[in-house]
Structure 1
Amino acid sequence: MNIDDLAWVEGQERVLHPFPWTMGNFSDALEAGYIARIICVDGRNVGYAVMLTVLDEAHLLNISIVRECHGQGLGRTFLDALCDEIRKRGVAQMFLEVRPSNEAAKRLYTAYGFVPIGRRKRYYPAADGEREDAIVMRLGL
C-alpha cells in the first residue's frame, strides 16, 4: 500500500465498516512505517491490511476484503501472506482485536489458530453512541 492507494482504501473502508478508519489514519500508518499491504486478484485490488510490529510482536490493526469477494477464502490467503512476511522479520506472535458481533471474522481467526486471551471493555464505537467490547486474540507464529 502506498499513498496512491489511499483513496481506494478509504472508499472501501467506508463501505465495509460502520465506524471506518479515515484517510488520515491510513496516511499516518504509512508515514509511521507500519506494514500496509494490498491483496490483488487478477490485477484488481480486493483487500488491504495494516500491521504494527514491535520487536518480536505484530498487531494486526485492520484487515479487510471487499464485500463482493467475501466467502472466497481471500481472508485466509491474505493472513498467510502477512504471517509469512512477519515470520521472516523474526516476529513470534500476532495479536488482534475483533468485535464479538463480527461472527465471520471470529470464525476466520479461530480457524486460523488465533486464541482469545482477553477482552477490552467498551473498546469499539457502536450504534446509538454505545460501545462494544473487543475480544483480544493471539497467534503464535
Structure 2
Amino acid sequence: MDIQIEFIVPQDFDRLFTIEQEAHLIPWSLGTLTNNQGERYHNLKILLNHQIVGFAISQIVLDEATLFNIAIDPKFQGKKLGSILLNHLLQQLQQKGIKTLWLEVRESNQKAQKLYEQCGFNTVCVRKNYYPTLDGKRENAIVMAAYLAF
C-alpha cells in the first residue's frame, strides 16, 4: 500500500465532501467543511495509492488543538488508515508545540472511541445531549484529550 499524508488544498474539497457524506451519520455541509480552513487550522488528508481516502480537520488555539472532524471513506475503513492519520496528526501537533488535542465523539460510536484510546486519548467528561440524532433526539458526547507535552 502506498500511503501519503499531505495538507488539504482547495482542490480537495469535492472529494472530502463526498467522504464526509458517506462516513458520518449527520455530515457537515460543504460550507462548514470549507469554512474550517485557514492559518489557525492543521488539516490533513490521507491518500492510498494517490487517491484521497480520508481527512482530519483540527483547529489550533495557543498551545491546544481541537480535532473537529476525522473521516475515512467507508470503502477503506478497517485498514488502519484512521490510526495512521491520527497518529501523524498527533506527531505534527506535538512538533508545533501543542500540549493537548481535544475532541468530542458520539457516545454510541464505540469504534471511534477505541481508535482514540489506542492513540493515547483519555476520557475527560461527558456532554449531555450534545449531538443531534436522525430521529430528532439528542445523544451524549464523550470529551477526550490526548496530552502531547511531557
Q: Shared fold (TM-score greater than 0.5)? A: yes
**Contact map agreement 2:46 2:85 (CA 8 A) in 1:** yes
Matched letter for residue 116 of structure 2: Y
Q: How does 1:30-41 map to 2 (within 5 A)?
A: 30-31=37-38, 33-41=40-48
TM-score where L is the length of structure 2: 0.89
What's the CA shift for 1:127? 2.1
TM-score where L is the length of structure 1: 0.95
Higher relative contact order (CA 8 A, sep 6+): 2
Name segments (4+ residues, structure 1) moved above 4 Å: none
Flag structure 2 segments of 5+ consecutive residues without an equivalent: 1-7
Count how many residue pairs are aligned between Structure 1 and Structure 2: 141
Cα displacement string for residues 87-133 of structure 1 (whole angstroms, at most 9, x for unaligned residues): 11100111100111111101111122211011111111102110111
Q: How does 1:60-99 map to 2 (within 5 A)?
A: 60-99=67-106
- Structure with greater proportional helix content: 1
Superposition CA RMSD, Å:
1.2
**Contact map agreement 2:26 2:134 (CA 8 A) in 1:** no
| Rounded Cα–Cα distance in structure 2 between residues aligned with 1:44 and 1:134 | 31
Flag structure 1 segments of 5+ consecutive residues without an equivalent: none
Residue in structure 2 matched with residue 120 of structure 1 by the alignment: 127
**Contact map agreement 1:2 1:30 (CA 8 A) in 2:** no
Overall identity of the aligned pairs, in %: 36
Matched letter for residue 130 of structure 2: Y
